Amino acid sequence: MPTQTLLLLAVIAVIVGYAAFTNAAAGGAIVVSATVVGILYAIIRDDGRGDNRP
């Protein structure tokens, strides 16, 4: 994993943690949306590992 990606994930984790600490509803909403985005990214990304379909 590139260093920039790891740093971005760490910053996002701090923001989510702070939001969850200050307001549980906002923190929960951020966690749910981040989870959905992560799942969608994992599904649609083109990692180029042997799948050569058009």
Inform me whether the pLDDT recorded for 28 exceeds 60.
yes
Inform me whether the pLDDT recorded for 30 exceeds 70.
yes
In this prediction the pTM is 0.48
What is the reported pLDDT for 42?
75
Q: Cβ distance 14 to 21 under 8 Å?
A: no
Cα-Cα-Cα-Cα dihedral of 11, 1, 32, 47, to 10°? 140
At residue 52 the predicted structure's pLDDT band, cuts being 50, 70 and 90, is low
Return d(Cα 16, Cα 34) in angstroms, integer.
9
Return d(Cα 51, Cα 22) in angstroms, integer.
44
The domain ranges of the chain are: 9-43
